[in-house]
């Protein structure tokens, strides 16, 4: 899966230290803020590590499909699974997947 000549490499935020990753607030962040739910309380409802919720809220990573649907269920549709496609990280992951598929 090499880069095509002239194509810019896609940055992988996971390799950057947490304080160097760009922050882009997600719909989940605003949902939790609007409903006065702490990130740690939401993590308990989801049964996951609170750091994961921090990363999702700050747009540093995108939840797996399973977690995306769990978030949709726990928020009663307030944060639909499709919302994650609009994040920068989601777009990068989609671009990488398309590149792999197209060869």
* CATH code, domain carrying 74: 1.10.260.40
Encoding tokens for residue 83? 């919302």
Encoding tokens for residue 80? 């639909």
Encoding tokens for residue 53? 């919720």
Place of tokens 């977690």: 67
Within a domain: residue 76? yes
Distance CA 37, CA 9 (A): 37
Determine the structural domain holding residue 28 and report its residue range: 23-102
Residues in contact with 92: Cβ distance below 8 Å, sequence separation at least 6, in sequence order: 10, 11
Within a domain: residue 3? no
Taking alpha carbons only, the member of 57, 52, 60 closest to residue 79 is: 57
pTM reported for the whole predicted model: 0.66
Within a domain: residue 28? yes
In this prediction, residue 43 carries a pLDDT of 97
- Digit-by-digit pLDDT tens for the chain (103 residues) are 444 454 444 455 556 665 665 567 888 999 999 999 999 999 999 999 999 999 899 888 889 889 999 999 999 988 888 888 766 666 666 667 667 666 6
In this prediction, residue 101 carries a pLDDT of 61
Within a domain: residue 61? yes
Within a domain: residue 15? no
Within a domain: residue 69? yes
> Structural domain tally of the chain?
1
Within a domain: residue 18? no
In this prediction, residue 2 carries a pLDDT of 46
Taking alpha carbons only, the member of 39, 17, 16, 14 closest to residue 26 is: 39
């Amino acid at each position: 899966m090499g880069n095509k000549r002239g194509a810019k490499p896609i940055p992988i935020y996971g390799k950057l230290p947490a304080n160097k990753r760009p922050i882009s607030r997600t719909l989940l962040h605003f949902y939790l803020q609007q409903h006065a739910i702490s990130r740690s309380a939401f993590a308990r409802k989801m049964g996951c590590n609170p750091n994961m919720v921090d990363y999702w809220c700050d747009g540093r990573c995108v939840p797996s499909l399973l977690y995306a649907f769990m978030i949709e269920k726990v928020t009663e549709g307030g944060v639909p699974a499709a919302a994650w496609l609009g994040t920068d990280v989601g777009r990068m992951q989609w671009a990488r997947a398309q590149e792999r598929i197209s060869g």
